């Protein structure tokens, strides 16, 4: 017989971990399921400077603190991939190891990296989505970062401390990231900014040797020899489970307002997978708190 919980949370990022903390403080039995690593994508950030209470903290340390708090309160936290979900009374969640049931379900599945959609992108050695994870492999070598937001700018700054040279490639004429990061990059002698440019192709057979670039204004093409490419071109929702529950929109996001309620009874959405204008650490944690309290209310009315 499947083990039953008051609340099951799918996703171990800031939203999911915060939800677990709030639900446990309310006295509910909680299972949190995460398929890869706790803390979400923020765990890969070398420095977080916009989370209240911390002037600066690494993403990994912040993730550890969020995890430790939920764990200390008694949330059952498992590293398991959810294969299927079925809404009902109760809801059923099947993972690669077990099957569980719950009264309330919180989807905090977050986002995944968006790719450039190029041939060999998934098979060519030298293509990465995480500068903090893989940057050390390119110490003293030439790399490129593709993107124009804060993630791309932070990746370029991080790599500039390790690599011989970093080329930052952005398809527009101006960066979308914070001006303070742009100014910091301009002070780095081993960083070149290439604007109005896209990557058209990856060069190399089994290992990346370079990039084929195209200027979007002039149409001029060129090649850039690099040992590594770090992609930071945005994210898209992990929408598979939401689609299976029929609570996702065409883009894979979950249309839930600030109350985090979905159109399915007993199913709630929290964090970056939810439709909203602002996706930040603080809003993810806020979602986690709101979704958990709503789930607790639902459990009280349906226990």
DSSP label at 49? -
Give the β-pairing of 82-86 and 91-95: antiparallel
Whole-angstrom distance between the N-terminal and C-terminal Cα of the chain? 19
Write out the two tokens for 106.
């919180």
Q: CA dihedral defined by 232, 236, 241, 245, rounded to 10 degrees?
A: 170
What Rg value do the Cα atoms of the chain yield, rounded?
Answer: 21
Distance of alpha carbon 36 from alpha carbon 48, whole angstroms: 21
Contacts of 46 (CB under 8 A, 6+ apart): 58, 59, 132, 154, 158
Catalytic residue numbers, as ranges: 130, 133-134
Beta bridge partners of 89: none
CA neighbor of 15 nearest in space, from 290, 295, 285:
285
CA neighbor of 4 nearest in space, from 99, 86, 88, 95:
99
Distance of alpha carbon 58 from alpha carbon 43, whole angstroms: 8
Name the region of 59 (left: φ>0; alpha: ψ -120 to 50; beta: rest): alpha
Write out the two tokens for 46.
């070398």
């Amino acid at each position: 017989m499947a083990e039953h919980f008051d609340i099951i949370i799918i996703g171990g990022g800031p939203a999911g971990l915060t939800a677990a903390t709030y639900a446990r403080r309310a006295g509910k039995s909680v299972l949190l399921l995460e398929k890869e690593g706790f803390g979400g994508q923020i765990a890969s950030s070398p420095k977080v400077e916009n989370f209240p209470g911390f002037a600066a903290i690494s993403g990994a340390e912040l993730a550890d603190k969020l995890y430790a708090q939920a764990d200390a309160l008694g949330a059952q936290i498992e590293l398991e991939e959810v294969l299927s979900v079925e809404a009902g009374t109760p809801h059923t969640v099947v993972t690669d190891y077990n099957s569980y049931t719950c009264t309330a379900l919180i989807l905090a599945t977050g986002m995944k990296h968006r790719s450039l959609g190029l041939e060999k992108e998934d098979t060519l050695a030298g293509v990465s989505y995480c500068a903090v994870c893989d940057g050390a492999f390119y110490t003293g070598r030439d790399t490129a970062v593709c993107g124009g937001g804060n993630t791309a700018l932070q990746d370029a700054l991080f790599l500039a401390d390790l690599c011989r040279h970093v080329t930052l490639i952005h398809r527009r004429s101006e960066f979308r990231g914070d001006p303070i990061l742009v100014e910091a990059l301009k002070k780095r002698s081993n960083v070149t900014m290439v604007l109005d440019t896209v990557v058209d192709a990856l060069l190399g057979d089994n290992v990346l040797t370079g990039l084929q670039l195209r200027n979007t204004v002039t149409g001029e093409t060129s090649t850039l020899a690099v040992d590594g490419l770090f992609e930071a071109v945005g994210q898209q929702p992990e929408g598979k489970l939401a689609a299976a529950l029929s609570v996702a929109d065409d883009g894979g996001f979950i249309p839930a307002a600030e109350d985090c309620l979905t159109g399915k009874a007993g199913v709630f959405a929290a964090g970056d997978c939810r439709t909203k204008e602002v996706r930040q650490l603080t809003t993810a944690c806020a979602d986690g708190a709101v979704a958990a309290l709503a789930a607790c209310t639902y459990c009280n009315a349906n226990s």
